[in-house]
Structure 1
Amino acid sequence: MIDKTQKKENSQRTSTLEYSKIKLLLKSSRNLWLFFIDTALLFLSGAIALFVRFGFNFTEMRKYAPGVLLLIMFTAISNLFNGTYKIVWRYAQPVEFLKLLRGLFIGYALTVIFIHFTRITVLPRSVGMLTFLGGYFLLFSARTTYQFLLGIRKSSGKRIGIVGAGDAGVILLNEIKRTNYGRVVAFFDDDPAKLHRTIANVKVVGTIDEIDKFIDELELDEILIAIPSASKELIARVSDKVSGKHVTLKTFPPISQLLDREPTIADLREISIQDIIGREPVTVDLNSISGYISGKTVLVTGAGGSIGSEIARQVANFSPKKLILLGRGENSIYEIYNELKEKDTALELIPVIADVTDEKFMEQVFSGYKPQIVFHAAAHKHVFFMQTNLYEALRVNALGTINLVKLSCKYSVERFVFISTDKAVHPTSYMGLSKRIAELYLLTIPETCSTRIAIVRFGNVIGSRGSVLWKFKKQIEKGGPLTITDPRMKRYWMSIPEAVSLVIQSGAFSNKRELYVLDMGEQIPVEKVAKTLAKLMGKPDIPVIYTGAVPGEKLEEELFYEFEKPEPTDHPKISRVRYTQITLNSDEIESIVKQSMELYISGKEKEAVDLLQKIVSAVNPDE
């Protein structure tokens, strides 16, 4: 059995070796043919040079032919040593053609020097120069013609239009040519200075509003938005123009995700609802963020969730000393761990499967790893489910936060950043109530705790796991109908990366105990979001039915209480709310939460909720 296996392995090695030899032989054969073609073109160039200089005077031509042959010989040898035949000419860029020119010039220079010192023959300056220039012209033309013909053959299938004739558009055009992704036949741009002009041999045929009329005329298969900083309004305009057309629409991710590199073909992805509803250019102060994260041990709770995993991704970009990924779900932590490990093998990642309410084990995490920064994203977030699970909402969202911040104070954590929600404002649901209690507890931590605490409140994020968009997507895939609780329902929307960028920026601002609220823009009707998603998925006429609001659900969300006075920060999308008027202390809040949980377990739900309302009303707006 072993002999058969060894024979099989030996046979495979032999086959691989033979294949490598054949591949090398073919490559050598191609280079040999290219060398002969170049030499023939040099002969042709020399003949043309002699004819231009002497016309049909064959006597004179024969007299100076040895000098031309000497020039061809030196040039051919120069090309060999110049590396001309190591270049893959189908992908050649201007620098490679300069290398070709260098090879020919060295050959010409060597010929002139050799003839000057040996006097072996004579080469008129005009004939030598014409042979050199003509040779470069013929060799250059042969290679560019080869590139052109190969490009037509390879890219004849997919016809592409690019929106944006700027730097990113030209980079994308060159990438398409290099990778044979397709054939770019048009640019679209609103800049009047570029309209109807040709850029890199591709015409700017019209504006963005004219895309729809050119799709059929130019038989476009794909529209690519080559504007990494494109706003949601611009993407929506392009999406409207291609709606109903048999064309694929793709874009780059936001510029914040590309950082300091140029966009590539691999970055292109199809337009999503996030691009149209929630995409906004967000800039952050990288220096201030790096200043408090770089070289530190960072703990992210709920690291397998939508918000927590994105926090982990962005924190990883700021070179932390260690990154602790904590969550209850083994599979979700496994996924984010592997994703980050593949991206940066040098980053020290520590996966921890744990419940934030487990006091003994969390004590072990803090004492063992000694985190310096904590981002607390672990939470129960589904309003409908928590309405029948008040005990669990309080256990995780309130007591879990209390447990973590106590440990943060005990082990002198530098900064504690808590993810809150707009549902904590005038809470009508148990989920919002549990988050509001956590907010107030954090704001009442005594000054003896040195940890800087930042509470960050914001609304819905697009694409979060189990969100309403997930439900809509499944309904659209099945052909409908779309179920919406109420046509008047509105929500704030922001993309996960943009929300997390602002959360991390808020952490840099934190000083003592502060509440930060993100600017979510205007509230958008849920029905509009659902129909936009249906249109993107190619089913614009899908039916919609209304089911009525579920218990605890608001028609519109709020980001501030009436008595909260937002103050500006150094970032235009982040407001600070200062608190001095809470009438309960942190110990009293914790005690009330635990009493309420006991009442709920004993079947006294109303009494439990009434008791919790004492915490929510423990704010004196008059102060």
Structure 2
Amino acid sequence: MSFSKRLALLIFIDSMIVSFSIYMSHFFLNPYYAIFDNTILMSSIILLVCHHLFSWLLGMYRKVWRYASMEELVGIIIVVTSSIAITAVIQLITIGAIYERALTVTWMLHILLIGGVRFAWRYYKTYGVTFRPKGKRVNVIKNNENIQRTLIVGAGSAGQMLARQMKNNKEEHSQLIGFVDDDETMHGLSISGIPVLGGAHQLSSIAEARNIDHIVIAMPSVELHRRKEVIQQAQAVVKNVQTLPMIEDIAMGNVSTSQVRDVSIEDLLGREPVELDMESISSEINGKTVLVTGAGGSIGSEICRQIVKFKPYRLVLLGHGENSIYTIHMELSKLDLDISIVPVIADVQDRERMFDVVREFSPSYIYHAAAHKHVPLMEANPKEAVKNNVMGTKNIAEAASTFGVRNFVLISSDKAVNPPNVMGASKRIAEMIIQSLNGVSDTNFVAVRFGNVLGSRGSVIPLFKKQIESGGPVTVTHPEMTRYFMTIPEASRLVLQAGALARGGEIFVLDMGESVKIVDLARNLIHLSGFTEDDISIEFAGVRPGEKLYEELLNNNEVYDKPIFPKIFIGKPVEIKDEYVEYLIDHHESFQLDQLRYYVLSLANNETMDNFSYAK
């Protein structure tokens, strides 16, 4: 129905109700008195005009009454009360008296009928009922083999909104059987006609008794460890387990069935979200020019997605791969934001080009995410690690210093701590470069370290997924190998927070919580894919060159005891050997591969360089 037709219908219905209310009130009070005298006629006209005027001003005719709530009821009371009050004032002015009893009865009938019609419509649209010829009520959703019998875990506001959405969606292939909730005071009660069947610890017995084949976890604000426990309990009961996004990803009051998604590895291995100072980040980025290197990569592209939320004046997407830069540029351009988004194809190894780009765009912030990060590949190609991770960082960092960039944020890695491999060593040397520059530059240079990022390119999760899709086996290097994990959005938000906190020279580190065994990660992915370890086996392939069993985020000599920000620590500066870094950059091409590997590792681990006759 069009808006104009709907408006006309509501005005007609309300007019009938208003007229009926005022005339019936006079009839109830004075059944033998003429109810069509001039005073009553005048009062009814005034009441009608006022009702429609206040309804329009308060937007009551624009409400979607199938979702009517207490807010709409309060609106009805305000409209009716205001209309009655105006009518009373005009009665006093024109006839010198107020028909208090008649107006009071009119007020009650008015609210009862106006509200009753709206909420009757809501009830009809919510429960969607029809009637058999004999008058027996029949639900629209019927039990059949194509309908999923659904249980919602969590009877809070998110669960209730989800239940309402599922009822209202006639195309939903689910029959909502009930809630389970840890709040024992709710057990045995009903919410909008849906029973609360028990607690999450009773999932197994409830699912079996009610023949449940679909469970939705609606606990977006619960602590992560409890959320993981419930997900694992649900997965032990049925295969089809879905969840709502985390609370940080849900707009207030905007929970819908379209947001329900399958349980992911992030739900099982994610961490409690870090509460960031969004105001300080916004004040730093809003209206500024920001440049992101490696903007087409997993981390770089997500940093760009986060940055545009803070409305910079201009965002420069710099990357070496044209396809990845094209992809992120098109994605951000479709958002139709009032931001200049500029794609730049360039290589950080090209020093002259880096200076030209920074000179041209004069960014206030540079987020340096361009890097080679694959450990075994860099172990086999140490010169490429030096050229990209060391020289590339030096090029863009010195360009930033030369042209007065305010803040420069290096994306580093937990592998830069006591690095046993070339990739980690090259990232540690990159940290040395920016710390050295910070002492002589007006630019604030900082680094951000975090662990492995779930789902990033080259990470273990895409590899495991491919192995599972092909029927296995899933290959794990060692049964005791552990890593820290975080999600791509969280890693990106940490980078932005570090930029806002930067005073120069810091290495920021997120409190990553507990490390995770890679073999547990593999098992969880197998189970999430609907298999067991009998279907998809796990094989141990041995530790690869350059890998270590346990990663560190800061060594004992680097970290301050107290966080600078909740869950964000800051590292202490260490001795920087500028002359050896310069020698590496100037002479790396003349090194033999073994020599280069040994030199880089010794330099990154702050070992003595006296035994290198060529390093003077």
Q: Taking structure 1 as the reference length, what is the TM-score of the superposition?
A: 0.80
Q: Is the 8 A contact 1:386 1:430 kept in 2?
A: yes
- Equivalent-residue separation in structure 2 for 1:447 and 1:129 (angstroms): 79
How much does 1:363 deviate? 1.2
Please give the alpha-carbon distance, in whole angstroms, between the structure 1 residues aligned to 2:164 and 2:332.
30
2:238 aligned residue (235, 241, 245): 245
Q: Deviations for 1:474-514, whole angstroms, at most 9, x for unmatched residues? A: 22233322222222221111122222332332333433323
Q: For 1:153, which of 103, 125, 128 is the aligned residue?
A: 128
Gaps of 5+ in 2: 130-138, 142-147, 610-616
2:594 paired residue among 569, 581, 606: 606
Q: Is residue 121 of structure 2 the alignment partner of residue 137 of structure 1?
A: no
Distance (Å, rounded) in 2 between the aligned partners of 1:194 and 1:297: 52
CA distance in 2 between partners of 1:580 and 1:459 (Å): 21
Q: Distance in 2 between matches of 1:163 and 1:216?
A: 15
Q: How does 1:462-611 map to 2 (within 5 A)?
A: 462-541=454-533, 542-561=536-555, 563-582=557-576, 584-585=577-578, 587-599=579-591, 604-611=592-599
**Aligned in 2, Cα 1:254/1:476: closer, same or farther, shift over 3 Å?**
farther
Change (3 A) 1:357 1:589: same
Write the distance in 1 (CA, Å) between the matches of 2:233 and 2:206: 10
Q: What is the CA–CA distance in structure 2 between the aligned matches of 1:107 and 1:66, rounded to whole Å?
A: 20
Q: Distance in 2 between matches of 1:509 and 1:348?
A: 25
> Is 2:263 the counterpart of 1:271?
yes
Partner of 1:4: none
Query: For the residues of structure 2 that align with 1:331 and 1:43, how far apart are their CA atoms?
Result: 69
| Counterpart-to-counterpart distance in 2, 1:516 and 1:44 | 69
* Greater shift in the superposed pair: 331-340 or 214-223: 214-223
Q: Structure 1 residues 30 and 382 mapped into 2: Cα distance closer, same or farther (>3 Å)?
A: same
Asked if structure 1 preserves the Cα contact closer than 8 Å seen for 2:559 and 2:569, the reply is no
**DSSP-derived class of the 2:197 partner:** strand
What's the secondary structure of 1:426's corresponding residue? coil
| Equivalent AA in structure 1 for residue 126 of structure 2 | G
Is 1:439–1:455's contact at 8 Å kept on the other side of the alignment? yes
Q: Residue 525 of structure 1: CA displacement?
A: 0.9
Richer in helix (by share): 1
Match of 1:90 in 2: 66
Q: Distance in 1 between matches of 2:83 and 2:429?
A: 82
How far apart are residue 49 of structure 1 and its match?
8.8
Q: CA deviation at 1:544?
A: 1.6
- 2: distance between equivalents of 1:569 and 1:533? 33
Question: Which shifted more, 32-41 or 462-471?
Answer: 32-41
Inter-partner Cα distance in structure 2 for 1:558 and 1:62 = 92
Q: CA distance change for structure 1 residues 64 and 220 in 2, over 3 Å: closer, same or farther? A: farther
Cα distance change of structure 1 residues 308 and 230 upon mapping to structure 2, 3 Å threshold: farther
Paired letter, 1:552: G
Please tell me the residue identity of whatever aligns with 2:572: R
Letter in structure 2 aligned against 1:310? E
Structure 2 CA distance for partners of 1:99 and 1:317, relative to 1, 3 Å: closer
| Cα distance change of structure 1 residues 323 and 36 upon mapping to structure 2, 3 Å threshold | closer
1:384 aligns with 2:376: yes
Q: 2:317 aligns with which of 309, 316, 325?
A: 325
Q: Tell me how far apart the structure 1 counterparts of residues 404 and 46 of structure 2 sit (CA, whole Å).
A: 76
1:190 aligned to 169, 182, 186, which one? Answer: 182
- 2:445 aligned to which of 431, 453, 456: 453
Distance 1:184 1:76, change over 3 A: farther
Q: Do the aligned partners of residues 143 and 559 (structure 1) sit closer, same or farther apart at CA in structure 2, a change above 3 Å counting?
A: closer
Structure-2 separation of matches of 1:419 and 1:484: 27
Contact 1:209 1:237 in 2 (8 A): no
Aligned match of 1:20: none
Identify which range, 341-350 or 483-492, moves more after superposition: 341-350
Summarize the Cα distance change of 1:589–1:475 in structure 2 as closer, same or farther, 3 Å threshold. Answer: same
CA distance change for structure 1 residues 433 and 127 in 2, over 3 Å: closer, same or farther? closer
* Helix, strand or coil at the partner of 1:375: strand
Match of 1:17 in 2: none
Percent sequence identity over aligned pairs: 34
Q: Distance in 1 between matches of 2:492 and 2:75?
A: 48
Tell me the alpha carbon deviations over residues 205-249 of structure 1, each in whole angstroms, 9 at most, x when there is no partner.
322222343335456565444443333312211212221415441
User: Mean alpha-carbon deviation: is it higher for 374-383 or for 325-334?
Assistant: 325-334
- Which amino acid is the alignment partner of residue 354 of structure 2? M
Change (3 A) 1:109 1:395: closer
How many angstroms apart in 1 are the aligned matches of 2:263 and 2:140? 25
